[in-house]
Amino acid sequence: MTKDEALFEFLLRTGDNGLVLAQRLGEWCGHAHQLESDIALTNVALDNIGQARMALTEAGKVEGKGRSEDDLAFHRTEMEFRNNLLLEQENGDFAQTITRQFLFDVFQFELLSGLKSSSNEFLQSFAIKSLKEVTYHRSLSSDWMVRLGDGTELSHDKMQNALNLLWQYTGELFEKTEADDILIADGVIPDLEKLKESWDDIVGQVIKEATLEIPDTKGFMATGSRRGEHTEFLGYILAEMQYLPRTMPEAKW
């Protein structure tokens, strides 16, 4: 694997994470429990779509085959998507949406903090710009974790259920492939294993404050996205997202 191939892989992962999450958050639009949350969730979706566009555009450049952000977003199949499994999971109720958001935000914050000193110029400026956004996302989702975890009995149960469901998808965030090893050795991306330590730390603190418990998955963690093996959800997300450009491949929008 060449260095460019490794970088392409990482940029796809980053872009796809933003895109798939924005797609999920977009489903909420107009249906949240109050206007302020509608606005906040849309804000997060907008930031994620912005990050996705930057990363996918750069991925196209690095690949060197003339593919645009839209070619990559709308004309790849399930197995070619590299987003983490966590992000394609269903919205469920607000508890599930916020828990998914929180687990990802803490990861993304750590990743971007590491990328600020990347040896790659694009990733460096990408990190500086995106970190401001993700700092806000992380504080929004952490606040809701605590508010709902330590709210009523009902909200507490819903949050614990959401954690129980989603925890199995967190291990995969830190998985390393050949591409990661190449990029880490070159100082392009931070060591994912090291990110895990601070992630554990922060996630643990918030969960404790929220009076929730880290579920015991008996060591089980879901895996697969690095190889393009996703959960059943991704196929539906792409079917919906891609249908129009695929139906009319000649058309410009």
Partner 1 sequence: MELAEREKEFQEKIDKGQKIEAKEWMPENYRKQLIRMISQHAHSEIVGMLPEGNWITRAPSLRRKAVLLAKVQDEAGHGLYLYSAAETLGIDREKMIEQLITGKAKYSSIFNYPTLTWADIGAIGWLVDGAAIVNQTMLARGSYGPYSRAMVRICKEESFHNRQGYEIIYELANGTPEQKKMAQDSLNRWWGPSMQMLGPSDADSKNSAETMKWKIKVESNDTVRQRFIDRTVPQAIAAGLTIPDPDLKFNEETQHWEIGDIDWEEFYQVIKGYGPCNHKRMKARQDAEAEGAWVREAAAAHAEKKRNKKAHQAA
Residues of the shown chain interacting with partner 1 in the complex, contacts defined by CB under 8 A: 19, 22-23, 26-27, 29-39, 42-43, 45-46, 49-50, 52-53, 56, 69-70, 73-74, 93-94, 146-148, 150-152, 154-155, 158, 237, 240-241, 243-245, 248, 250-253
Q: How far is the CB of 129 from partner 1 (least distance, A)?
A: 15
Q: How far is the CB of 171 from partner 1 (least distance, A)?
A: 28
Comparison of 48 and 108: residue with beta carbon closer to partner 1: 48
With beta carbons less than 8 A apart as the criterion, state whether 124 and 115 touch. Answer: yes
The pair of structure tokens assigned to 134 is 């993700």
Q: How far is the CB of 42 from partner 1 (least distance, A)?
A: 4
Pick from 6, 146, 168: nearest CA to 86 = 168
Cα–Cα distance, 111 to 101 (Å, whole number): 15
Comparison of 25 and 112: residue with beta carbon closer to partner 1: 25
Cα–Cα distance, 186 to 182 (Å, whole number): 6
With beta carbons less than 8 A apart as the criterion, state whether 91 and 21 touch. Answer: no
With beta carbons less than 8 A apart as the criterion, state whether 48 and 15 touch. Answer: no
Comparison of 32 and 165: residue with beta carbon closer to partner 1: 32
* DSSP of 191-215: -HHHHHHHHHHHHHHHHHHTT----
Within 13 A of 176's CA, how many CA atoms are on the CB side? 15
Q: How far is the CB of 66 from partner 1 (least distance, A)?
A: 17
Comparison of 75 and 116: residue with beta carbon closer to partner 1: 75
Within 13 A of 187's CA, how many CA atoms are on the CB side? 7
Q: How far is the CB of 252 from partner 1 (least distance, A)?
A: 6
Comparison of 47 and 110: residue with beta carbon closer to partner 1: 47
